[in-house]
Amino acid sequence: MNRLAHSLQRLAALDESWCLRFNGASRSVTLCHILRWSSRLGDGVFWYALMLGLLIVDGESAVLPVLKMVLAGGTGTLVYKMLKHRTARPRPYQVIRAISLGIAPLDRFSFPSGHTLHAVAFTLVALTYYPMLAWVLVPFTIVVGAARPVLGVHYPSDVLAGAAIGALIALLVLRFVP
């Protein structure tokens, strides 16, 4: 086996090991309940409410930040759907018998985490214009990302990739959209 294949195999084993560790936290009924709710809010409800709230509170000056959030969200959806179908990575609960599924997945494949991608993209765009919201947005984004492996629907690498892609999309939208 060459070095690259060996390294990839070791990374996959590490990813699986961490996935099992995160998923072990799902034994806590209270934690599982909180993470399910944060995931459901992260499906879009929280972000749509945030955008609507910004428009209500800040009026016309919120239009540009909200449009950038919408653009980042749409781009994120296109990118993650394309990646999911190209990589076709099964979800952890489908591969690892010891993984306990804590929530029904929204789609078939695991890589990358769309919830994390969108949470990071929306948070970075929103914080560029409204840094005072960091106390709400940063913890919510962290909880959404952590929920995915705990609930058994993503590997930690799916979450890290989703965060990186979401950050890249946000930076591109912020840099190139006037």
Q: So what's the pLDDT on residue 5?
A: 78
Give the pLDDT band (50/70/90) at residue 63.
very high
Counting every residue written for the chain, the total comes to 178
Do 120 and 141 contact (CB within 8 A), yes or no?
yes
Domain layout of the chain by residue ranges: 17-176
Model confidence at 152: pLDDT above 70? yes
* Residue 102 pLDDT > 90: no
pLDDT in tens, 122-140: 999 999 999 999 999 999 9
**66-76: burial string, b at 16+ Cβ within 10 Å, e else:** bebbbbbbebb
CA–CA distance, 94 with 125 (Å, rounded to integer): 34
Residue 1 pLDDT grade (very low, low, confident, very high; cuts 50, 70, 90): low
Q: Taking the domain 17-176, which CATH number applies?
A: 1.10.606.20
Check pLDDT > 90 for residue 117: yes
* CA–CA separation, 120 and 114 (whole Å): 10
